[in-house]
């Protein structure tokens, strides 16, 4: 006979508790702060509600806010516990409030549901995470731009199909990696804006017969606006996560390419670059090995983030309107997808910073056939139609002469070509993305600080 | 012994041709027009290039443009054929030009590669497709808003976990579907802007030693700007498709929910709604059946679009810089993912337009327990803490009284609740999305028309 | 400046340690026992190796085995720690052995690599997990067969497209769920057999110049045979996990259907079945709710397992021969995919055991149109061609008469139909699957027991 | 106003026809033969049915069989058309039969549904396809074994992490590819056996009140047995496809690795191997290029097959019992997943057959550090503990001496190592797989031949 647990919402079986709440207890650690903040805004709004008698007096409100602040501080030092019986952070916070404040704690759930809470917690969490990811991604892109600028004149055999193809430069390669991240930053901004809407006031998805001021809570929490339709506020869960993961997965896609390139470029047979030793690992059996494990993990983790996106999408697909518990399973892939992305961005940042360029090996890579296209175009310059020039060179591949690679790339001096990179333009666009993140961070923290009446995120 | 085919770029085996070019010949039909347009801009740019002798004289340029226009007109009446030997649309167009214009045709490939061409073709194609998808999605959302407005006062048992939960309205339900699409439109705009950059001038990804005017071709084709880094211009293929499919898949996610809801709401046991007969199908064995096949297909097709996204992402993941043929496999899922989405939007539009609301059945669905939360909140209004009120109602579920549903939802009159929908706000936001699509369509068509010197898309 | 850690295989940066080893330390807890067992077999083989001087004397071998057994016992009581500096279970075990036995510990890694170890650990782990999953799946299928047998005569409206379609029975429904699992058991057996091959002796994938007796270690560990080619032994990692996850995901697919059916059948509007209360959860805001959260989680977890499969597949895809660290990322989805499946099977077992059948509601579900096909076939029996009979019934749907459902299903008494279920045949096939699992468990445990010279799994 | 079409099962809208039947008309071409065969068995069974009057007299049966055979022959010469109005092959065949045979045609659908038909068609199709895939895969594996045998003594630097690691051989590499396919063949056999069950007699999933002899049709069609539970017979659709695609995707996973290896090994910097020219393609801009496009497509197509698997799984997941139209969307990914796999196996077969081994380049790849592990093990042979030997070599990497690679691999002469490959064992196991395929093909064709009373597959 299985033990039954009494929870706030009924008695349930131990196995069911584990099956339904299992990893939530661990994952919800990252949500404690947002749950408290969300509750603070909710209580502030309830206390302003024009009903008689008021739900919370001014003093009661300040008592509740004080306790919530206390929980936040405790949680930062690891002294706030979510038990299996709580099931989740929401009930854990309510339990503490009730134990400290009695009836005040039992009132706090008025006009909201747990769905409201998890929805707002996840959106506040996503807000902070997306801002951080933007900052870190922009920072990695800047590292790449610096690298690109520094090595803009170092020739590199450009490859297609993994084979040497045409003259290129280290600068062009690094710049391409940076611009890929710039595109991804646009996707992150889009995800940020979609996420930046407050779901509170939805309750079970159908509203409540009380004068809930949804604009007010939205403002208090620093959101750009409330989600209008309360059923959509509930139903957007899952979809929001999917959009954010999609943006994250694009970052991983860029990183996976950079990682794959570096694996190729550091093969002993090419040795264009050398990876920083402290970012390599050895083999347990082969004494000579210095392996690019980190790069391989970046590549593999791109698959993990995609899979997390697939999980979330597939969970939501064909799901009927109104809350369904399926959504709970979206939480882990959502949070892990973000963590993986951020860790990968940071490790790649270190990687690029420590990367050494081996100019000799790069020059050695320029075999004459790399210049075949240049030669054909030279013939075009003399008036031969391109197809004829192409065929002519093809028929005389053995006669191709070695050209000075530095000279070759200097001739490709046009917009965005190896010799024509506009670093400032890219830096400016990166700065815009950084500034966006910076402003959003500032106004978000200001709103929370004002709500709690303490500096945020310091809390003291 | 397998037949060998002589192609412009060398002799290859029949099997290889089928394996490598197989479905391209079919898919590229949709790209003919864009390939011609891209070539027109390329030639216009080449003719402006300051080299001596000029690659194309003014008259030669106008001859090439004339032939390209001719191909476009032919292709619209199905008289332009891509052969297996051509391998793709690019070589088919070059073949025709060369057969008609001799040396002029052999010159057209100067300073570009097929990668350039397919990249620009797909971006032009995507431009048109995203604009159309935005239009159609906004139009479906408007149909839903109209439906929502019309039935805003018709009560409907709101469900969670597929079970009756709280009083709601038909209007709230339909409005939620519309707002979900509104979120998706923001994603489509993001995809549009990412796509709206011209890749031309990249050649094999490393530029060419010729004064290619990349800003000019970009302007001629109506793009917002060229992609700066030429390696990124090549490498962004696959990623661009992935971002577009991701935006499309969000639309499908919304539709799959609407479809699932309608399947539930039209079950004979609920019978809230009735589907238009002309959109239902029968059974080959059961004479009485009227099946919601269309809705089931919408639900399933959401999985197809996700899978197309997975294919593209997975193809690009870990792919090294510089063109790799893997990208070719991204074309089919990309184009099919878009087609599926557009067809699904259109069929759902018809579905909603023909949907009948069965008010009697909706009212019959209001069992007393649907009012349990209302009752608890009523007690809160009298001063009982919510948790006590919740427990009180739970202990006396049998005593719940039937309330008039119309009255109940009228009490939920606050922002975004069943009785407090702001239809105009949603309509306005939809109009913004439509306007965006409209303006982009107009300026895109104007650019092409000006490039070809004929009205576009009429071509006459 | 980041702290550098000295590991057995070189000095590395703290961030890299976290990035590369992070969750391994936690996941490897489940592998400690298998790592010790694998090392025991390896040492036994090394001590038998005909080289002079011998690597391990008889006494030394027994010392090592004793320490390994000690580690296993410690790990069972949670007293074995893997540190971040260890990086993984393999190095943790080697560290303890070396601290206890000095040179003996430093010898144990002769003729093998960590890849060997993780490969054999995962296969031993998979062996036990697949056996357990087979047992539990067969047990759930038996519960369903019992349920099917018990309610074989209870009529149930058979549904297609979520709508009532033709007369069926509760027995047929439950039997179908059981048979779906029976198919899945065949897949699990296939996965078992693929996994049941010993990878040891591969070292870094290319063997070693020592007389390694690969058949011996394979036998000692209870595998059916060694994997022949040592490069394939290394390369099969990832693929093996993918095959196992694929088999697991089929089980989840079956469960997701059963779960979806139960959600439908327990909707208040149908109320065919009632779920056991102790497996349901309440709402935090709606006092009346009794939600099928467990079923929804089963449905969602089917998506999680698929996503884990996608992650593993995508990680391996296009991976070159020879070990790449990407494989490490396959470990978490592999182990979690199995855990999720087993937990879901167990919770569904409880669900079916507690399921109540509401015969009245089932009978009430039989509206006259459910008998339309029966009526058409009756006309066929009188000589009317089926298409004419179909049309006739379709034209006279209003005239359909209510038939006694019990009588109706008794007429479908042919092989596998509602009235013609052969329970014994299914039970027999389930017994075969159970027996297979039982025998494999027995011989596996016997081999390990014999290797360690203690009863296994008791270890005492 | 949309045109409405009158179909056998009711009148429907043109758009709906396109949306619901669209690609079926094309895909069903591959099912015509199996649909006829399935109908033949059904009619034979109906004519044996003990009802009075009999549904089909002996002569009528033979008339129907004659017409079905006629359709099969027509379809082989492309003279059988499925119209949009037919919706699918089943209705197209019934239309022809009815136009030729009147009432006999209208009788043929007695005691079955279209679901029955598509289910049996797909299983017959899958039977043939799996047999062919097994044959072709075994054949490719044999090509690899021959290659392995031929080059068993040619040394090759074994790589891990894409870098040279330890001495290996061309033979070991090729043998590993072969054994990977051998594992995949086991998966194909499992898929074959799961598929080899007859679904007929399920009708809409609930059977019919007629004495349908399900064992008889199963035997007539050469299946090993009928699926017992009729609801499971219907519900197994989607799951069967998923299992087959899973087996196919494993083959692709093996091929993607082989392809990736060949791309690496043919990089000019390594040049271990040379690809057959007739399987390479050129560049449209770079005259010197000889690109491994085919290999890249194999790699990318592995992603396509996985995505098709994801589509099918996701479609079925959470699908309720009883037919839902979602299943239709599983048809295209199913059929395409198989086609892609077969085409890829065949193209890889040609690739390996034409592969040239460049022994000089392989030998040049042996830098001294490749022998580091050999050296450490040599020290172990002299009594030094492995960890000390490892550290010693690591500290003296510069002193490593070049060893003769041929001698080095000859020392790895133990089971499955570069110098110890047991080719016969692998060949024998491949022969078993081929024989399995051969026997299944023979008995399948014999059954169909006997059913139609003509030699099959010749039909004449």
pLDDT in tens, C55-89: 999 999 999 999 999 999 999 998 999 998 888 99
Quick one: DSSP state of residue B4? E
* Contact (CB, 8 A) for C319 and C14: no
Query: What's the whole-number mean pLDDT along residues B142-150?
Result: 98
Spacing of C-alpha B239 from chain mean position: 16
Strands (E), C23-162: 155-160
Residues of chain B with Cβ-Cβ distance to C367 below 8 Å are 268
pLDDT in tens, C377-412: 899 888 899 989 999 999 999 999 888 999 999 999
Q: What is the pTM of this model?
A: 0.97
Test mutation, C201, C300, C312, C345, chain A, max A CBs within 10 A? C300
**Buried-exposed string A77-95: b where 16+ CB fall within 10 A, e elsewhere:** eeebebeebbbbbbbbbbb
Least confident range of B14-18, B88-92, B166-170, C227-231: B14-18
pLDDT in tens, B354-410: 999 999 999 999 999 999 999 998 998 888 999 899 999 999 999 998 889 999 999
Query: What's the whole-number mean pLDDT along residues D334-358?
Result: 97
Residues of chain C with Cβ-Cβ distance to B310 below 8 Å are 310
**pLDDT reported for residue B3:** 62
Overall residue count recorded for chain D in this entry:
460
Test mutation, C417, C429, C430, chain D, max D CBs within 10 A? C417
Q: Is B161 a catalytic residue?
A: yes
pLDDT in tens, C413-431: 999 999 999 999 999 999 9
Inter-chain touch A230–B55, beta carbons under 8 Å: no
**Buried-exposed string B353-386: b where 16+ CB fall within 10 A, e elsewhere:** eebebbeebbeebbeebbbbbbbbbbbbbeebbb
Q: Of D169, D170, D188, D186, nearest to D352 (Cα)?
A: D170
Nearest CA-CA distance, residue A161 and chain D, Å: 6
Nearest CA-CA distance, residue D212 and chain C, Å: 7
Exposed, middle or buried, C50 (CB in 10 Å: 0-12/13-18/19+)?
exposed
Query: What's the whole-number mean pLDDT along residues B322-326?
Result: 94
Inter-chain touch A163–D288, beta carbons under 8 Å: no
Of A284, A297, A344, the CB nearest to C9: A284
Q: How does residue B215 score in pLDDT terms, banded at 50, 70 and 90?
A: very high
Q: Of D147, D151, D155, nearest to D360 (Cα)?
A: D155
Residues of chain C with Cβ-Cβ distance to B400 below 8 Å are 288
* Contact (CB, 8 A) for C379 and C386: no
Could you tell me how many CB contacts below 8 A there are between chain A and chain B? 370
Catalytic entry in D39, D75, D152, D161: D161
Return d(Cα A444, Cα B268) in angstroms, integer.
Answer: 49
Tokens 């890694």 locate to C109
Q: Of B161, B7, C116, C396, nearest to D282 (Cα)?
A: B7
Inter-chain touch B254–A242, beta carbons under 8 Å: no
Tokens 């479809």 locate to B259
Q: How does residue B97 score in pLDDT terms, banded at 50, 70 and 90?
A: very high
Of A263, A286, A310, the CB nearest to D165: A286
Least confident range of B29-33, B105-109, B266-270: B105-109
Spacing of C-alpha D437 from chain mean position: 12
Inter-chain touch D263–A394, beta carbons under 8 Å: no
Tokens 């070019």 locate to B21
**pLDDT reported for residue A187:** 97
Nearest CA-CA distance, residue A395 and chain D, Å: 9
In sequence order, the 6+-apart residues with CB closer than 8 A to the CB of D453 are D65
Return d(Cα B377, Cα B408) in angstroms, integer.
Answer: 12
3-state secondary structure string, D50-95? Answer: CCCCCCCCHHHHHHHHHHHHHHHHHHHCCCCCCCCCCCCHHHHHHH
Inter-chain touch D307–B203, beta carbons under 8 Å: no
Of C12, C279, C286, the CB nearest to A16: C279
**pLDDT reported for residue D12:** 67
Return d(Cα C40, Cα C45) in angstroms, integer.
Answer: 9
**pLDDT reported for residue D17:** 81
Residues of chain A with Cβ-Cβ distance to B323 below 8 Å are 160-161
* Contact (CB, 8 A) for A448 and A221: yes
Least confident range of A46-55, B242-251, C130-139: A46-55
pLDDT in tens, C269-304: 999 999 998 888 888 888 888 899 999 999 999 999
Test mutation, A158, A160, A163, chain D, max D CBs within 10 A? A163
A133's enclosing H/E stretch is helix A114-150
Q: Does residue B5 register a pLDDT over 70? A: no
Inter-chain touch D412–C207, beta carbons under 8 Å: yes
Least confident range of B384-388, B447-451, D135-139: B384-388
**Cis peptide bond prior to A27, omega within 30° of 0:** no
β-bridge mates for residue D93, sequence order: none
Residues of chain C with Cβ-Cβ distance to B367 below 8 Å are 268
* Contact (CB, 8 A) for D157 and D366: yes
Residues of chain A with Cβ-Cβ distance to C119 below 8 Å are none
Return d(Cα B286, Cα B307) in angstroms, integer.
Answer: 33
Beta strand A197-198 with A225-226: parallel, antiparallel or unpaired? parallel
Give me the sign of the Cα torsion angle C243, C247, C248, C250: positive
Nearest CA-CA distance, residue B268 and chain C, Å: 7
Q: Is B236 a catalytic residue?
A: no
Quick one: DSSP state of residue C12? E
Nearest CA-CA distance, residue D439 and chain C, Å: 21
Least confident range of B334-343, C108-117, D135-144: C108-117
Overall residue count recorded for chain C in this entry:
460
Return d(Cα A49, Cα D116) in angstroms, integer.
Answer: 62
**Cis peptide bond prior to C457, omega within 30° of 0:** yes
Q: What is the mean pLDDT of chain B?
A: 94
Beta strand C163-169 with C155-160: parallel, antiparallel or unpaired? antiparallel
Inter-chain touch B416–A319, beta carbons under 8 Å: no
**Residue B186: CA atoms inside 13 Å, Cβ hemisphere, count?**
19
D contact chains, 3+ CB pairs < 8 A: A, B, C
The interface predicted TM-score (ipTM) is 0.96
Inter-chain touch C204–D158, beta carbons under 8 Å: yes
The full DSSP string for B16-46 is HHHHHHTTHHHHGGGGHHHHHHHHHHHHHHH
Helical H segments across B221-371, by residue range = 230-235, 239-265, 293-316, 331-353, 359-364
| Token pair belonging to C7 | 């590991």
**pLDDT reported for residue B460:** 83
Spacing of C-alpha D149 from chain mean position: 26
Quick one: DSSP state of residue C213? -
Query: What's the whole-number mean pLDDT along residues D37-42?
Result: 98
pLDDT in tens, C336-362: 999 999 999 999 999 999 999 999 999
Query: What's the whole-number mean pLDDT along residues C161-184?
Result: 97
Q: Does residue D1 register a pLDDT over 50? A: no
C contact chains, 3+ CB pairs < 8 A: A, B, D
In sequence order, the 6+-apart residues with CB closer than 8 A to the CB of A256 are A298, A299, A302, B317, B318, B319
Return d(Cα D333, Cα D306) in angstroms, integer.
Answer: 10
State which residue of chain C sits closest to B397, comparing Cα positions. Answer: C288
Overall residue count recorded for chain A in this entry:
460
Test mutation, D202, D276, D295, D325, chain B, max B CBs within 10 A? D325
Residues of chain C with Cβ-Cβ distance to D231 below 8 Å are 158, 168, 172-173, 175-176
End-to-end CA distance of chain D: 49
State which residue of chain C sits closest to B365, comparing Cα positions. Answer: C269
Inter-chain touch D304–B329, beta carbons under 8 Å: yes
Q: How does residue C90 score in pLDDT terms, banded at 50, 70 and 90?
A: very high
**Buried-exposed string C55-94: b where 16+ CB fall within 10 A, e elsewhere:** bbeeebbebbbebbbebbbebeeeebebeebbbbbbbbbb
CB atoms within 10 A of CB B448: 24
Tell me phi and psi for residue A457, to 5 degrees.
-90, 10
pLDDT in tens, B404-418: 999 999 999 999 999
Inter-chain touch C315–A328, beta carbons under 8 Å: no
Return d(Cα C340, Cα C344) in angstroms, integer.
Answer: 6
Helical H segments across A355-404, by residue range = 359-364, 372-381, 386-395
Rg (CA), chain B: 28
Inter-chain touch C287–B164, beta carbons under 8 Å: no
For chain A, which residues lie within 8 Å of any Cβ of chain D, measuring from their own Cβ?
Answer: 160-166, 263-264, 267-270, 283, 285-289, 291-293, 296, 310, 314, 317-318, 365, 367, 369, 372-373, 376, 390-391, 393-394, 397, 400
Of D269, D390, D397, the CB nearest to A270: D269
CA dist A345 → A134, C4, D358 (Å): 10, 20, 40
CA dist B342 → B121, B206, B245, B255, D173 (Å): 20, 36, 12, 11, 47
Q: Does residue C42 register a pLDDT over 80? A: yes
Tell me phi and psi for residue B230, to 5 degrees.
-70, -25
Inter-chain touch B385–A103, beta carbons under 8 Å: yes
* Contact (CB, 8 A) for B421 and B171: yes
Nearest CA-CA distance, residue D426 and chain A, Å: 29
**pLDDT reported for residue B331:** 97
- Give the residues of chain A that fall short of pLDDT 70: 1-12
């Amino acid at each position: 006979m299985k033990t039954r647990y009494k929870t706030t919402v009924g008695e349930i079986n131990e196995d069911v508790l584990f099956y339904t709440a299992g990893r939530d207890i661990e994952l919800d650690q990252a949500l404690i702060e947002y749950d408290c903040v969300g509750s603070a805004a909710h209580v502030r709004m309830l206390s302003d509600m024009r009903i008689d008698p008021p739900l919370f007096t001014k003093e009661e409100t300040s008592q509740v806010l004080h306790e919530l602040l206390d929980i936040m501080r405790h949680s930062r030092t690891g002294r706030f516990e979510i038990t299996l019986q709580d099931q989740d952070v929401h009930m854990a916070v309510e339990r503490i409030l009730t134990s400290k404040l009695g009836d005040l704690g039992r009132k706090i759930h008025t006009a909201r549901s747990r769905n409201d809470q998890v929805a707002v917690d996840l959106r506040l969490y996503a807000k902070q995470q997306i801002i951080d990811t933007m900052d870190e991604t922009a920072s990695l892109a800047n590292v790449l731009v610096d690298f690109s600028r520094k090595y803009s004149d170092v020739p590199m055999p450009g490859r297609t199909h993994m084979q040497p193809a045409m003259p290129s430069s280290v600068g062009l390669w690094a710049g391409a990696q940076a611009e890929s991240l710039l595109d991804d930053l646009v996707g992150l901004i889009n995800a940020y804006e979609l996420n930046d809407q407050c779901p509170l006031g939805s309750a079970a998805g159908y509203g409540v017969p009380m004068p809930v001021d949804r604009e007010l809570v939205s403002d208090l929490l620093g959101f750009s606006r409330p989600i209008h339709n309360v059923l959509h506020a509930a139903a957007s869960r899952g979809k929001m996560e999917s959009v954010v993961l999609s943006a994250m997965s694009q970052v991983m896609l860029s990183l996976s390419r950079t990682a794959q390139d570096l694996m190729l470029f550091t093969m002993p047979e090419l040795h264009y670059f050398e990876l920083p030793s402290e970012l390599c690992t050895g083999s347990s059996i082969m004494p000579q090995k210095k392996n690019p494990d980190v790069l391989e993990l970046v590549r593999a983790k791109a698959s993990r983030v995609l899979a997390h996106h697939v999980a979330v999408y597939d969970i939501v697909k064909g799901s009927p309107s109104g809350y369904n518990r399926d959504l709970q399973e979206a939480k882990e892939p959502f949070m892990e997808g973000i963590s993986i992305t951020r860790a990968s961005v940071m490790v790649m940042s270190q990687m690029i910073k420590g990367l050494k360029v081996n100019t000799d090996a790069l020059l050695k890579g320029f075999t004459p056939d790399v210049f075949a296209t240049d030669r054909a175009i030279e013939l075009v310059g003399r008036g031969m139609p391109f197809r004829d020039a192409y065929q002519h060179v093809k028929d005389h591949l053995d006669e191709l002469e070695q050209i000075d690679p530095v000279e070759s790339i200097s001739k490709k001096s046009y917009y965005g070509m190896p010799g024509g990179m506009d670093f400032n333009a890219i830096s400016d666009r990166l700065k815009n993305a950084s500034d966006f993140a910076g402003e959003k961070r500032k106004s978000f923290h200001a709103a929370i600080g004002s709500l709690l009446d303490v500096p945020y995120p310091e809390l003291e």
